[in-house]
Amino acid sequence: MDLLQRFRVPIMIALTITVGIAIYLVLRPAPASPAITVTLRPSPSAALTPTARTALRVYVSGAVQHPDVYSLPVDSIVRDAMIAAGGPADDADLDRINLAAPLGDGMQVHFPRKGEPAAAPGGSASGAAPAGTPIDINTASLEQLDSLPGIGPVIAQRIIDYRTTNGPLASIEQIKEVKGIGDVLFDKIKDHITVGP
């Protein structure tokens, strides 16, 4: 009892501090949750315009393993169309076709057979169109365009580049938007070209 009497005051102080701390811990407000910031990033597909052309549809016919319509990348050449169709047939005459010619959407690529007449179906990439047949400027190969009066390989390539970038020409007059083709040159070629059906 003497000890309790002696240390009564320090014991009371210690108990008071302990009770005060306990009450504080029980009644103090909960810490606020850290703010969460959400950043939305557009998906990669959203960056593509809905009109962006990502593939060409090409009809591959003639001396190939599997003639059919194939979907190919926009920068494809005639050789890519041949590979898509399973490769050349045994009787294919590949010396008569330019395998490096660029393709256009809706084009027919005809692979001639050995002994087949030189005239190719209009709009194919196998060579020049038959004499007197207007050339479809939306599907013609570089060689076909080069055969037009006043059109050399440089302007022929510009026509191909233009239709690859802007899509098929709606009328023959639209070809004047190609650099190097003015009214004078257009008058020379207008009777030899068409834009197809």
In a domain, 189, yes or no: yes
What is the model's pLDDT at position 132? 54
The domain that contains 73 carries what CATH number?
3.10.20.600
* Residue at which a domain ends, from 127, 147, 167: 127
Same domain for 140 and 114: no
Same domain, 82 and 138: no
Looking at the fold, whether 107 and 139 belong to one and the same domain comes out as no
pLDDT digits (tens, 9 = 90+) for 71-94: 999 888 999 999 999 999 999 888
Task: Give domain status of residue 92, yes or no.
Answer: yes
How confident is the model at residue 8, as a pLDDT? 72
Condensed to tens digits (0 to 9), the pLDDT of residues 100-138 reads 888 877 778 888 888 877 644 444 444 444 445 788 999
Q: Return the residue matching tokens 């103090």.
A: 28
Residues 118 and 71 in one domain: yes
Domain boundary among 75, 97, 127: 127
Please tell me the predicted confidence (pLDDT) of residue 11. 76
Residue 41 lies in a domain: no
Answer for the pair 51, 165: CB distance below 8 angstroms, yes or no. Answer: no
Residue 33 resides in a domain: no
What pLDDT is attached to residue 85? 94
Percent of the chain past pLDDT 70, that is, above it, reads 75
3-class SS string, the chain = CHHHHHCHHHHHHHHHHHHHHHHHHHHCCCCCCCCCCCCCCCCHHHHCCCCCCCCEEEEEEECECCCEEEEECCCCEHHHHHHHCCCECCCECHHHCCCCCECCCCCEEEECECCCCCCCCCCECCCCCCCCCCEECCCCCHHHHHCCCCCCHHHHHHHHHHHHHHCCCCCHHHHHHCCCCCHHHHHHHHHHEECCC
- Tell me how many domains the chain contains: 2
Domain of 177, in residue numbers: 129-197
138 and 118 inside one domain: no
pLDDT value, residue 86: 95
Q: Which of 19-33, 41-55, 97-111, 139-153 has the lowest mean pLDDT?
A: 41-55
Do 116 and 163 share a structural domain?
no
Are 159 and 146 in contact by the 8 Å Cβ rule? The answer is no
In a domain, 195, yes or no: yes
Q: Are residues 148 and 114 in the same domain?
A: no
